[in-house]
Amino acid sequence: MSSVDVPREQWATRIGFIFAAVGSAVGLGNIWRFPFQVGQEGGAAFLLIYLLFILLIGFPAMLVEFVVGRYTERNPVGALQAIGSGLWQYVGWIFIVTTFVILSYYSVVAGWTIRYTLLGLQDGYLADASEAEVQFVDLATGLDAIAFHALFMAIVVVIVAYGIQHGIELAVKVMVPAIIIITVGMAIYAFTLEGASEAYAYYLSPEWGTITAEWTSILPAAAGQAFFTLSLGMGVMITYASYLGEDRNLAEDGAIIIGFDTTIAFITGLIVFPILFTAGVDPADPGAGAIFVSLAAAFGDLTLGWLIGALFFGTVAVAALSSAISLLEVVISYLIDERDISRRTATFGVGVALFLLGIPSASDLVLLDLFDLFADQVLLVLGGLLLMILIGWSLPDLAVEELELGIGDLDSLGSAWIWAVRIPVVLVLFVALALGVLDYYEFLTVDFADWLGDQ
């Protein structure tokens, strides 16, 4: 039984919860971040490690967040206060801070997707890469970027303000099927392009030397990507599971969610890389804006590229929206549960605060990287690591008992899950955190220091 008896909103249907969780996972992490991470980290070598992390790390970690959320029926802060003691009760704040930081710049990037959708429908895309880069800098920073950041955040606020059933659940039941249908259709189109075979070789045939030579870079990037794309380490799955009943099979739901999310990410690679290779664009161009520059240039070089580009960026915008509403719900659930603030007041206030925090990211790409790397490689992994240690080593019996609700006696499977959390999950997250901190320190002392010197 739940440890808390406070009446609470719940999902109207099982498919509503699954679509909401899939929508949270299938967002910019899949369609914006995933392709440029694959490109930066060596193509298929990164893909292989990422898929292993999804299976061996992501699934057990997702179940941990599910059981914590459903057992406590609380937001991350309230949940950790309910089951933790001493310093452990403050771990929930890491999730709140992580979500807040991510959504502040996530909204900026999502604004780019809206702008690039309109760009395709209005003027088309520039085929010359250098011109496309200049165009991106103009559109991704300054008043234009701030305006679309505000537009996107306003849409998110309206949806979340209407609550779980009438806002989030209703929206994702439309958005998620649309994302799936369009991405599959675009993958079929990409298969017909002349650069498809070369792209598939790059994307699907790992070079083992790349893994051994670049593992210190690939490991934290893959771990961060796995957590980012599954919405782990943010408190999203804790919050969404807090609206679940005890009759739900968490393992089955988790497997479905991860299956959809990973499939969409994989299909995105089947779309993006054939387009890039057909247009002769290097997929290894680094940076958060690379996918916009590279893809826009590629679309500008394709027949009907304006239409394909508008369709692609429009799909990314919808996916970003489905994720952003879940991120905002984490913070809103805290204010409702712990501060007794009405949903609409909390949503409007937090939306304004997030818009203001996002202005620096909309003003300079280096500042966006500053927030992105800190959230992705440090905060996400730190929160996840601490939660895994708490559940795996201090509260294993509670976790197994909660997971068994809606499933039945797990016997040895419950023990296997706990030991997976205790050893491989904790170990990989610890190593990824250490390497991520070093990577972020290097960014601060090189890229960010150079930026400060130029100011």
User: Which region holds residue 27: left if phi is over 0, alpha if psi is between -120 and 50, else beta?
Assistant: beta
Give pLDDT, residue 288: 59
Torsion angle, alpha carbons of 24, 27, 30, 34, to 10:
-120
CA dist., res. 453 & res. 455, Å (int): 6
CA dist., res. 316 & res. 116, Å (int): 10
Give pLDDT, residue 4: 42
Q: Which residues of the chain have pLDDT under 70?
A: 1-8, 209-213, 285-290
7: in domain: no
Q: Which structure tokens are listed for 73?
A: 């029926």
Q: Which structure tokens are listed for 92?
A: 């929930």
Q: Give the H or E element holding residue 74.
A: none
- Map residue 249 onto helix, strand or coil: coil
Q: What are phi and psi of 320, to 5 degrees?
A: -60, -40
6: in domain: no
191: in domain: yes
Give pLDDT, residue 6: 45
Give pLDDT, residue 316: 86
83: in domain: yes
In this prediction the pTM is 0.87
Query: How many domains does the chain fold into?
Result: 1
CA dist., res. 281 & res. 306, Å (int): 17
User: Which region holds residue 33: left if phi is over 0, alpha if psi is between -120 and 50, else beta?
Assistant: alpha
411: in domain: yes
CA dist., res. 31 & res. 438, Å (int): 26
2: in domain: no
CA dist., res. 80 & res. 239, Å (int): 12
1: in domain: no
pLDDT digits (tens, 9 = 90+) for 309-328: 999 899 889 888 988 998 89
Give pLDDT, residue 97: 93
CA-closest candidate to residue 386, choices 337, 349, 425, 356: 425
Give pLDDT, residue 286: 53
Looking at residue 400, which CATH number applies to its domain?
A: 1.10.4160
58: in domain: yes
Measured CA to CA in angstroms, residue 309 lies from 119, 196, 278, 317 at distances of: 9, 17, 14, 12
Beta strands in 123-206 (DSSP E): none
Amino acid letter, residue 395: L
CA dist., res. 275 & res. 282, Å (int): 11
Q: What are phi and psi of 109, to 5 degrees?
A: -65, -40
Give pLDDT, residue 3: 41
Domain that holds residue 251: 14-454
